[in-house]
Amino acid sequence: MPRKHAPAFTPEAASASASTQHNLPALQAKMKRDPEGYTEELRQLHRHFKSSVFLFRQQAALSTTNTGGEVAKELDDLAMFLANVAPFYREDIADLPGQIAGLLDANARRLPQGLREHLVKALILMMNRKTVDLEDTTCQFSEAADSYKELERSSLMQLFMELQVIGDRTVKKHAFSHIVHSIRRMNQKSKNESKNRKLQNILCNHLKAEEESRAKRAFTILYDLHRRRVWFDENTTNAICDACFCWKYANYSKSRF
């Protein structure tokens, strides 16, 4: 089996990290004022982020407990920094949402709680600023494959549904709130039936899941959107009614209605 190599981590990238890590807010302000003037610094920090993701994956593969330490701290700082400047460098870091989503998808339960929460916040920040949308698909990567080889495509909606059942109450709250907020905002001025149908299908699939916790999260979201009259079409109404008569929701639905 060929040896796996981390993404290119040049001396320049390391130097950029060492010289700016303690002053990322100042660099962020400069990038917002003059994006073109700091493109190279942005690319160096993005390379450093990708190298840190690779190193973290290697540590996680060798550890049976939560992986923390210096690499996790760098990921935390760089993820939030890059998410904040992403609207100014859409082409240069177009793959950032996929990199963060892939890390969460593969290692969510093993991430330190603080890092996990900040990675979720970074994705929410990029979605709020229209860098990426909830229904968009992102490349998911496998640590078992060659460096950053695309494994599959998965929507951020699917990821945010999964994040609600990993046992982290704070992340669960963030994921739930953002799904509801994002869908409400999407339907404020007009309804995009194609986008709505795509998201509804994801929720309906989770509603049929054998695992009760997954199904209940989908039920809660559908009910909340119906209650707020965001989704009150026939399909949503029927899905909620069918769920109320299902044994999995017998006690749960009584407490909701």
Report yes or no on 168 lying in a domain.
no
What is the CB neighbour count within 10 angstroms for residue 248?
A: 17
Segments forming the whole domain that contains residue 114:
1-155
Residue 66 has pLDDT above 80, yes or no: no
Residue 111 resides in a domain: yes
pLDDT tens by residue, 129-179? 999 999 887 655 444 434 444 445 578 999 999 999 999 999 999 999 999
Domain assignment present for residue 33? The answer is yes
pLDDT digits (tens, 9 = 90+) for 13-56: 444 444 445 589 999 999 999 999 999 999 999 999 999 999 98
CA angle 155, 157, 162 (to 5 degrees): 100
Strand (E) or helix (H) holding 155? strand 150-155
Smallest CA-to-CA distance from 160 within 180, 144, 186 is with 180
Is residue 151 included in any domain, yes or no?
Answer: yes
Mean pLDDT of the chain: 83
More confident residue, 69 or 51: 51
Query: Domain for residue 79, yes or no?
Result: yes
C-alpha to C-alpha distance for 45 and 89, rounded to whole angstroms: 13
Is 7 within a domain? yes
Q: How many domains does the chain have?
A: 1
| Helices and strands, number each (H, E), in the chain | 12, 2
Q: What tens digit of pLDDT does each residue of 230-249 get?
A: 999 999 999 998 888 875 55
Enter the pTM of the model.
0.83
CA distances from 90 to 23, 65, 97, 148 (A): 23, 35, 11, 19
CB atoms within 10 A of CB 11: 7
pLDDT at res. 209: 84
**Per-residue DSSP letter, 3:** P
- The 10 Å CB-count burial string (b at 16+, else e) for 20-31 is bbeebeebbeeb
Tell whether 127 is covered by a domain.
Answer: yes
Is residue 147 one of the residues assigned to a domain? Answer: yes
Q: DSSP code of 129?
A: T
